Structure 1
């Protein structure tokens, strides 16, 4: 593998796992709760 391929692989991994981590943090702070009014 060339150096540019390794750099692109690392960037892709950081983007995917970083996005997953940010999504988990946001859901932990503001969990999606179903509205009680709409389920009646």
Structure 2
């Protein structure tokens, strides 16, 4: 593999793992979806 291909692969991995980490931090900071589901009132 050429050097540019390796660099692009590393950049793509950093972007993917960084996005995953940001999503997890966002969920932990603002609370999970389960906590919000309990507050929903349904009038049937």
TM bucket, shorter chain: 0.7 to 0.9
Looking at secondary structure, tell me which structure has more helix per residue: 2
After TM superposition, the structure 1 = structure 2 runs for residues 14-29 of structure 1, keeping only pairs within 5 Å, are 14-29=14-29
TM-score (norm 2): 0.75
In structure 2, the gaps of 5 or more residues are none
CA RMSD across the alignment: 1.9
Count of residues in correspondence between the two structures: 40
Counterpart position of 2:2 = 2
Runs of 4+ in structure 1 displaced over 4 angstroms?
none
Larger Rg: 2
